[in-house]
Amino acid sequence: MNAHAGNAERAENNVEYRIAHLQERLAAGELGELGMRVEPRGSAVAVMGTVPTAHCREELLRAVDEELAGLAVHYDIVVAEAAAPDHPEEVA
Amino acid sequence: MIRVAAVGDIHMGLDSQGLLRPAFDTLPDCADLLLLAGDLTRHGTPEEARVVAEEVTGLPVPVVAVLGNHDHHDEKPEEVAAVLNAAGVRVLEGQGMVVEVDGARVGVAGTKGFGGGFVGRSGSEFGEPLMKEFIRYTRRCADGLRTALDELAGQGCGTRVALTHFSPVPDTLAGEPPEIYPFLGSYLLAEAIDTAGADLAVHGHAHAGTEHGMTSGGVPVRNVAQPVIRRAFSVYHLHGHEAPTTASASAGAVG
């Protein structure tokens, strides 16, 4: 293995770049998801945010599993609430 | 009193059919109009727009919308707007609309808006053509919003609401990474709102932001992105006043 090949391998395993590639996939793919926070936390990665439907949550988990394979991932994913509000706000 | 319901960033796809309709069916009991603050679809396809249209078709309250960046992704914003218009939704871009509520005239002025950042931390019309066009585009959106608000004042609207997708203030972005604020809004929108005057400014776009904010001119700002308000919509009660009289309030027909 020459030095350049070693650099390429290190870049491929670089967690920050893997997170960036995941976020590019989430934006460009079926989900069109730009609002997800994906951040390194210690030796793991945290994925946090709100998705519109349960189907979107499944698609998100699948994409994360594929892009961050081998890494520990902490999820905090909420499906958006679709209930009517129970009170208004009086705007002074 | 005017009752304004609002939500943005509902990001509807083909798997979203019927999700919001049960909540929207309660609107006649709690609101006089519904504002949709952009990012109504995921990719801006006409098929997704039809899902949104079905959610609001036949509602007995007026529905007024602006598009968001997601609604532009498929590069067919005119088709998206046409699908929504056919369902009775008035889609605004640099325009205003007057709604009569119990004899009172309520004006809604809308633009998608765009980014650029906030005072002291903003881009400027300098350098590469792309960078200059970025800021000029935001400025055109803000100019359209100000003109529409002015015209609504001239049409005797005692209550005026500014509807955008991008944020006019940084307050309602709290919770988002500060590094991305310039992609979330622009002070040019707030300056337009403060110059023309408004009783409320409503926006979306910032999913991790907070609901409450205010322009430096004192106009209440609400981030109604669905992930922020955590319900199908929010309702704001506005207490109208006499139609404003400003030097620029003599404009004619709205946009």
**For residue A88, is pLDDT > 70?**
yes
Structural class in CATH, domain A3-79: alpha beta
**Cα(B39)–Cα(B52) distance, rounded to whole angstroms?**
11
**For residue B244, is pLDDT > 70?**
no
User: Where exactly are the structural domains of chain A?
Assistant: 3-79
Does A80 sit within 8 Å of B226, measured CB to CB? yes
Neighbour count for residue B48 (Cβ, 10 Å): 25
Partner residue opposite B231 with nearest CB, options A34, A56, A85: A85
Decide if B90 is inside a domain: yes
Decide if B255 is inside a domain: no
**For residue B243, is pLDDT > 60?**
no
Q: Work out the minimum CA distance from A1 to partner chain B, whole angstroms.
A: 38
Structural domain of B144: 2-238
Decide if B186 is inside a domain: yes
Say whether B32 sits in a helix, a strand or coil. Answer: coil
Decide if B121 is inside a domain: yes
> CB contact, 8 Å: A49 with chain B?
yes
Task: Determine how β-strand B234-238 pairs with β-strand B2-7.
Answer: antiparallel
pLDDT for residue A63:
97
> How does residue B16 score in pLDDT terms, banded at 50, 70 and 90?
very high
Decide if B6 is inside a domain: yes
Under 8 Å between Cβ of B165 and B68: yes
| Domain CATH code at residue B123 | 3.60.21.10
- Residues of chain A with C-beta less than 8 angstroms from the C-beta of B236: 88-89, 91
Does B26 sit within 8 Å of A52, measured CB to CB? no
**For residue B150, is pLDDT > 80?**
yes
Q: How far is CA B93 from CA B19, B28, B72, in A?
A: 27, 26, 13
Site of tokens 């946090």: A48
DSSP 8-state class, residue A84: P
Average pLDDT, chain B: 94
- Residues of chain B with C-beta less than 8 angstroms from the C-beta of A90: 237
**For residue B15, is pLDDT > 50?**
yes
Average pLDDT, chain A: 91
Compare all CA atoms of chain B with the CA of A29 and give the residue at the minimum distance. B43
> CB contact, 8 Å: A55 with chain B?
yes
Q: Could you report the predicted ipTM of this complex, rounded to two decimals? A: 0.89
Q: Spell out which chain B residues touch chain A, with contact meaning CB-CB distance below 8 angstroms.
A: 3, 9-13, 15-16, 19-20, 22-23, 26, 30, 42-43, 70, 73, 177, 199-200, 207-208, 220, 226-227, 229-239
Decide if B230 is inside a domain: yes
Average confidence (pLDDT) over B225-253: 73
Task: Please write the tens of the pLDDT for every residue from A41-83.
Answer: 999 999 999 999 999 999 999 999 999 999 999 999 999 999 9
Partners of A49 in the β-ladder: A77
pTM of the model: 0.92
- Residues of chain B with C-beta less than 8 angstroms from the C-beta of A34: 70
Number of domains in chain B: 1
